[in-house]
Amino acid sequence: MRAAVLHEIGQEKLEVLDDVEAVGFGPGKVRIRVRATGLCHSDLSAMNGVLPQPAPFVPGHEGAGEILEVGDGVRHLKPGDRVVLCWLPACGACPACRRGQTQLCLAGFMNAGTPNFRRPGGDLFGFAGTGTFAEEVVVDAGCAVPVPEDVPFDIAALIGCGVTTGLGAALNTADVAAGSSVAVIGCGGVGISAVQGARLKGAAEIVAVDPVASRRESALRFGATRAVPPEELADARQQVTGGEGFDYVFEVVGRSATARTAYENTRRGGTLVVVGAGAMDDFLRLNMFELFFDEKRILPSLYGGGDVLRSYERTIALWRAGRVDLAGLITHRVPLAEIDEALDQMRTGTALRTCIEI
Ligand SMILES: [Zn+2]
Ligand SMILES: [Zn+2]
């Protein structure tokens, strides 16, 4: 079968090969025919070494497809079922799961060191234990979450990462208060989802901050009340908050420099929500006086910061009711063979989400 492969960390392009096999099928596993996958910024971060990931590997972790085959002991799925791939599956038994913080379950990560694919030349890993830039993938049954028939594959794929992450940051982690002021720094697919989440919660002002003009225009369509390039954030803060700073600032870039900007633009006693996935050697500097005296709350948000399956269900309900726009997030579509185009669209910021049809 075909899959897009990164041979070495640091390479900019992927090679689409047709001699790849999905391996590891057996008890407790399912084989999935991937139908659609989104390109998430974390895929690029894994390719360039910002996020830890062994190579060679098949990127892609935001996917949806249908079940081809189920292993012994798998009762909740059958061939033909439509599923979202969940790259952070919950075991249901560890302390984090029992507390309801299934986004903190590490059980699924135990598989990340095991190859998911094989070629005549050797083994390949799948990014984050999945690897959705492939026609087929074998995963633990817990990574395959059934979705209703009316959810198209491209929409289901978005729920697998970007939308869950961005919406959850606003709905779960920040729990944005009605009437509040919000700034969202970084307006790709995740940032726009945070904008939609803030709007759902009744934020009065939502300022979208992004250097790319097309993303700023998109943010306005999705509920931002104004959209500015980074150099105009100080003016917007003055106009919207009288200079005090925003009640909530979402950092959706994953860099210490933007996190510092976000911190400085949060009002005293306000909330900084860290959504972007950054590097292990990139340190955020805060002095101990400001940390104590300004009483700003710093809330990291991993994969939506709440129960993962509940977040999926909630997103589907909101989408069905027309309360969130998911189709509008897909600005580009490419077949797997043209995946490098998707990478370029992500790097230049022209896409909110590119859907790769497989
Ligand atoms: Zn992602
Ligand atoms: Zn667990």
State in Å: Cα 163 to ligand 2 middle: 22
Domain residue limits at 295: 163-300
Give yes or no: residues 156 and 168 share one domain.
no
Give yes or no: residues 189 and 258 share one domain.
yes
Closest ligand to residue 304's CA? 1
Give the H or E element holding residue 247: strand 246-251
Contact 107, 87 (CB under 8 A): no
Within 77-162, strands assigned E span 82-85, 117-119, 122-126, 136-140, 144-146
Average pLDDT of adjacent 10-residue blocks, the chain of 358 residues: 97 96 96 97 94 94 97 96 94 92 85 87 93 97 95 97 97 98 97 98 98 97 98 98 98 98 98 96 97 98 94 97 97 95 91 94
Closest ligand to residue 188's CA? 1
Which residue's entry shows tokens 């049809």? Answer: 357
Last-in-domain residue among 274, 300, 326: 300
Contact 45, 10 (CB under 8 A): no
Give yes or no: residues 9 and 109 share one domain.
yes
Closest ligand to residue 108's CA? 2
How far, in Å, CA of 356 to CA of 358, rounded?
Answer: 6
Residue 111: per-residue pLDDT: 64
Give yes or no: residues 219 and 84 share one domain.
no
Give yes or no: residues 173 and 219 share one domain.
yes
CATH of the domain at 41: 3.90.180.10
Contact 252, 187 (CB under 8 A): yes
Give yes or no: residues 179 and 289 share one domain.
yes
Please, which residues have CB less than 5 A from ligand 2, an ion?
A: 91, 94, 97, 105, 107
Residue 121: per-residue pLDDT: 87
Tokens coding 35 = 């139908």
Instruction: Return the bridge partners of 146, or none.
Output: 83
Which of helix, strand or coil describes residue 299? Answer: strand
Give yes or no: residues 208 and 151 share one domain.
no
Last-in-domain residue among 260, 282, 300: 300
State in Å: Cα 45 to ligand 2 middle: 26
Q: What angle do CA 287, 51, 18 make, to 5 degrees?
A: 165
CATH of the domain at 213: 3.40.50.720
Residue 274: per-residue pLDDT: 98
How far are the Cα atoms of 142, 180, 192, 225, 243 from residue 199, in angstroms, in the given order?
32, 10, 11, 10, 22
Residue 259: per-residue pLDDT: 98
Closest ligand to residue 163's CA? 1
